[in-house]
Structure 1
Amino acid sequence: MSATPIVQFGTSRFLQAHADLFISEGLKGGRAVGPITVVQTSGDPARALRLRSLALQNGFNVRIRGLLQGAPVDKILKVTSICKALSTAEDRLEVERVLRDEAEIILSNTTEQGFLPRPEDSNPAFSQAMSFPAKLAHLLFSRFRANARPLQIMPCELLHENGAALKARVLPVAERLSADYARWLETRVLWVNSLVDRIVSEPLEPAGAVTEPYALWAIEACVGLTLPCSHPALKVVGDLNEVETMKLFVLNLGHTYLVENWQRAGGRQSFVRELMEEKNIRADLFNLYMDEVLPAFAAEGRGAEADRYIDETLDRFANPYLDHKLSDIARNHAQKVAIRIGGFLGFANHAVPGYRAPRLEAILARRAG
């Protein structure tokens, strides 16, 4: 079996339609670092079939449906970039071996809950009950002891400065294992910040996903950076914060605003596109963007950019070909309100002291209360 210089933690349908697809396309033209080992960190037995199916020799399908510059797109692409599928619950020693002997780049896209610290993180030995960062600290220890080769880690979680955030959670665990190990992680491992953007609406069985044409993988430029592949959706940027604030405070905020009102109205619709088919709801969201969101970006000198992105976002929400479930967006809703709406209000008040956004302020106050 081929060596896998890319190790991916997480089996999400998002990664299947994003990084896994881009790397698959890159491999066909010799424009990727290499194939992937996928590692399931949850140990969820209900996802065992999906895990195995990711590494089938004939690959899995990603269906792209939507509008691209006004023209309909409906095509199926085959993803064949994944060679191995492992679980930390069942295959920990093999995971450690791959990380020790093969890995050059680590990707991750774990759940918000999986990223948060847990009491088990202080255990002296690996535990399946640990958070993902603690598991990663224990799993990489074997590489440090065997060869201490440099490594690049590229989280895809939707966290501000996600590379730095993961590093901050891994280092305290590593310090308890060995001060020299923590120093290696600090100095010889490159922790890359990135931002991902693609609406992946539903899974295919047993593996694969349905997604929109739009895709972005913005990677922050840094010394020593190695790109996992070459692809039109992958862009190296000097200031990731500008990309992040636009996505978080327009697209993600818009999703959370729609879900908040959908829940309060009794949740009759199932999909985002159904909300956008109702003229009053689309008009309300447009007015929110114009009245409460756009002025903050305009104050930062980014009004024209935000205006274009708002138009693009409204079209993406209205995509008639995607069944983007409101119930999926509603998961961890309180946390999303705090990050997306609360975060925007902080951003806006920094741009314009005393900034007012009555509808957004009301949502934040309800959730805080």
Structure 2
Amino acid sequence: MQTPIIQFGTSRFLQAHALAYFQNGAPIGAAPAVTVVQSTSDPARRGRLDALTAPDGYPVRVRGIENGQPVDREERVTVVKRGLGYDGDYAELQRIFVQEARWVVSNTADRGFDPQPADDLPHPDPAQSYPAKLFHLMRARHLAGGGPLIVLPTELVPANGDKLRIRVRQIAVAQGEDPAFLDAHIWANSLVDRIVSEEIRPAGAVAEPYGLWAIAAQPGLELPVAHPAIQIVPDLEPVQRLKLHILNLGHSTLIELWQRAGGQETYVRQAMSGPLRVMLMNIMETEVLPGFAQQGMGDQARDYLAVTLDRFDNPFLDHRLSDIAQNHASKVAHRITAFLDWAGLSPDQAPQLHAISQSVKDPAP
């Protein structure tokens, strides 16, 4: 059995995102097969690995609005062929990494790239950061004469591939190694998006229909499958702008309107079923879409807004407004104020967004 894809992380997000797309995509060459790696071999968590590798797979329940219509379906994911713990199964992990791997996928949480004290150890250790673990495996592959890999991080870090490469090179230098061998690998920058609202135990997840895995094009980049949600793009910035200044801006604008109205609703879908929807749509139509049009992205923005509204209307998703309202001032600065600066919209062109930006910046005493 060969598993050319090695995935670091067993989160419900990866279960309903990368693994589901490998399952449902059209294979490019051989059918995809995956080895999933858990950070430890904790027996209490071994049940998830066993469930991920079950012969009949694990379920992904897709629930929401798609093209304006409600959907509620179950998909089975059977591409995971091996489940390994980093510490207890390290010898087998290294063998697979050296002999079988072609793609390396990861999602190691927001701080997964952060240095750890154990990174200075000259040998692999479970307490090391993901970049340090990757360095030791890549060094073993290099010493064995293995070829280049395609590294596909999905962590929500801007320029995640570049940052991972830089960190792995730093560790190589600290270990007294010439880091040049790392440059043969392809380090892809990507942006991912899919709401995975619930886990199904022992393995599986509930997810919305929408999903995106945008990957910046570069020479030599190849993927194991073709899937509508996986997009190779020349530049990630337009994708980031759409997500940040329509989806995220829409959330923060809705929070501002919700708070001003007294905050009666609990969930996004409830807020979108009443007068707040009319107010939000007015801002989107008269200020946000014209701002994107000024930057030559009018058609893209209108299409993305339609998909975003389907996501906001998801009748199965309990997306709490109070959760989105956390760190509201910071979010307004990054989502609304930054949009006004990027689009170059004056207060006359976008009076409502400017009012929100100013009121959050300078709240009344």
- Answer whether contact 1:107 1:154 (CA < 8 A) is retained: yes
The one-letter code matched in structure 2 to 1:237 is: V
Report the RMSD for the aligned CA atoms in angstroms: 3.3
* Pairing 1:349–2:359 present: no
Q: What is the TM-score normalised by the length of structure 1?
A: 0.83
Query: Compared with structure 1, are the counterparts of its residues 228 and 327 closer, same or farther at alpha carbon in structure 2 (3 Å cutoff)?
Result: farther
Instruction: Tell me which residue corresponds to 2:75.
Output: 77
| Residues 264-309 of structure 1: per-residue CA shift (max 9 Å, x gap) | 99987664323333x2443454355456644542331213322332
CA–CA separation in structure 2 for the residues paired with 1:118 and 1:10: 18
2:296 aligned to 294, 301, 309, which one?
A: 301
Instruction: Tell me which residue corresponds to 1:240.
Output: 236
Instruction: Tell me which residue corresponds to 1:250.
Output: 246
2:150 aligned to 149, 152, 156, which one?
A: 152
1:189 aligned to 185, 197, 210, which one?
A: 185
Query: Compared with structure 1, are the counterparts of its residues 99 and 70 closer, same or farther at alpha carbon in structure 2 (3 Å cutoff)?
Result: same
Instruction: Tell me which residue corresponds to 1:8.
Output: 7
- Answer whether contact 2:289 2:301 (CA < 8 A) is retained: yes
> What are the equivalent positions in structure 2 for 1:117-132 lying under 5 Å apart?
117-132=115-130
CA–CA separation in structure 2 for the residues paired with 1:93 and 1:261: 55
CA–CA separation in structure 2 for the residues paired with 1:258 and 1:288: 10
CA–CA separation in structure 2 for the residues paired with 1:40 and 1:267: 41
CA–CA separation in structure 1 for the residues paired with 2:270 and 2:42: 32
- Answer whether contact 1:23 1:81 (CA < 8 A) is retained: yes
CA–CA separation in structure 1 for the residues paired with 2:13 and 2:338: 29
Equivalent position SS for 2:62: strand
Structure 1 unmatched runs, 5+: none
Structure 1 position 261, deviation (Å): 7.8
CA–CA separation in structure 2 for the residues paired with 1:291 and 1:43: 54
| Residues 88-110 of structure 1: per-residue CA shift (max 9 Å, x gap) | 24323322222111110011122
CA–CA separation in structure 2 for the residues paired with 1:268 and 1:115: 40
Query: Compared with structure 1, are the counterparts of its residues 95 and 158 closer, same or farther at alpha carbon in structure 2 (3 Å cutoff)?
Result: same
Structure 1 position 43, deviation (Å): 6.5
Query: Compared with structure 1, are the counterparts of its residues 294 and 5 closer, same or farther at alpha carbon in structure 2 (3 Å cutoff)?
Result: same
* Pairing 1:211–2:207 present: yes
Equivalent position SS for 1:114: coil
The one-letter code matched in structure 2 to 1:37 is: T
CA–CA separation in structure 1 for the residues paired with 2:261 and 2:167: 39
Query: Compared with structure 1, are the counterparts of its residues 36 and 252 closer, same or farther at alpha carbon in structure 2 (3 Å cutoff)?
Result: farther
Equivalent position SS for 2:226: coil
Instruction: Tell me which residue corresponds to 2:350.
Output: none
The one-letter code matched in structure 1 to 2:24 is: E
The one-letter code matched in structure 2 to 1:199 is: I
Which segment is superposed worse, 50-59 or 353-362? Answer: 353-362
Query: Compared with structure 1, are the counterparts of its residues 229 and 95 closer, same or farther at alpha carbon in structure 2 (3 Å cutoff)?
Result: same
- Higher CA-based Rg: 2
- Answer whether contact 2:268 2:313 (CA < 8 A) is retained: yes
The one-letter code matched in structure 2 to 1:7 is: I
- Answer whether contact 1:8 1:107 (CA < 8 A) is retained: yes
CA–CA separation in structure 2 for the residues paired with 1:316 and 1:98: 39
Structure 1 position 177, deviation (Å): 2.3
- Answer whether contact 1:216 1:234 (CA < 8 A) is retained: yes
| Residues 287-333 of structure 1: per-residue CA shift (max 9 Å, x gap) | 55456644542331213322332232122111113334567767xx5
CA–CA separation in structure 1 for the residues paired with 2:331 and 2:117: 24
The one-letter code matched in structure 1 to 2:296 is: G
- Answer whether contact 1:155 1:192 (CA < 8 A) is retained: yes
| Residues 49-101 of structure 1: per-residue CA shift (max 9 Å, x gap) | 22331111210011112222223222111100001112224323322222111
The one-letter code matched in structure 2 to 1:213 is: P
Instruction: Tell me which residue corresponds to 1:319.
Output: 314
Query: Compared with structure 1, are the counterparts of its residues 39 and 299 closer, same or farther at alpha carbon in structure 2 (3 Å cutoff)?
Result: same
Structure 1 position 189, deviation (Å): 0.4
Which segment is superposed worse, 238-247 or 113-122? Answer: 113-122
The one-letter code matched in structure 2 to 1:88 is: Y
CA–CA separation in structure 2 for the residues paired with 1:92 and 1:337: 45
State how many pairs are aligned: 358
Query: Compared with structure 1, are the counterparts of its residues 323 and 346 closer, same or farther at alpha carbon in structure 2 (3 Å cutoff)?
Result: closer
Instruction: Tell me which residue corresponds to 1:359.
Output: 356
Percent identity over the alignment? Answer: 45
Structure 2 unmatched runs, 5+: 348-352
Greater helix fraction, Structure 1 or Structure 2: 1
- Answer whether contact 2:41 2:84 (CA < 8 A) is retained: no
Query: Compared with structure 1, are the counterparts of its residues 65 and 293 closer, same or farther at alpha carbon in structure 2 (3 Å cutoff)?
Result: same
Instruction: Tell me which residue corresponds to 2:23.
Output: 24
Query: Compared with structure 1, are the counterparts of its residues 178 and 266 closer, same or farther at alpha carbon in structure 2 (3 Å cutoff)?
Result: farther
- Answer whether contact 2:34 2:79 (CA < 8 A) is retained: yes
- Answer whether contact 1:148 1:184 (CA < 8 A) is retained: no
Query: Compared with structure 1, are the counterparts of its residues 258 and 343 closer, same or farther at alpha carbon in structure 2 (3 Å cutoff)?
Result: closer
Structure 1 position 361, deviation (Å): 5.4
Query: Compared with structure 1, are the counterparts of its residues 326 and 347 closer, same or farther at alpha carbon in structure 2 (3 Å cutoff)?
Result: closer
Which segment is superposed worse, 316-325 or 350-359? Answer: 350-359
- Answer whether contact 1:163 1:193 (CA < 8 A) is retained: yes
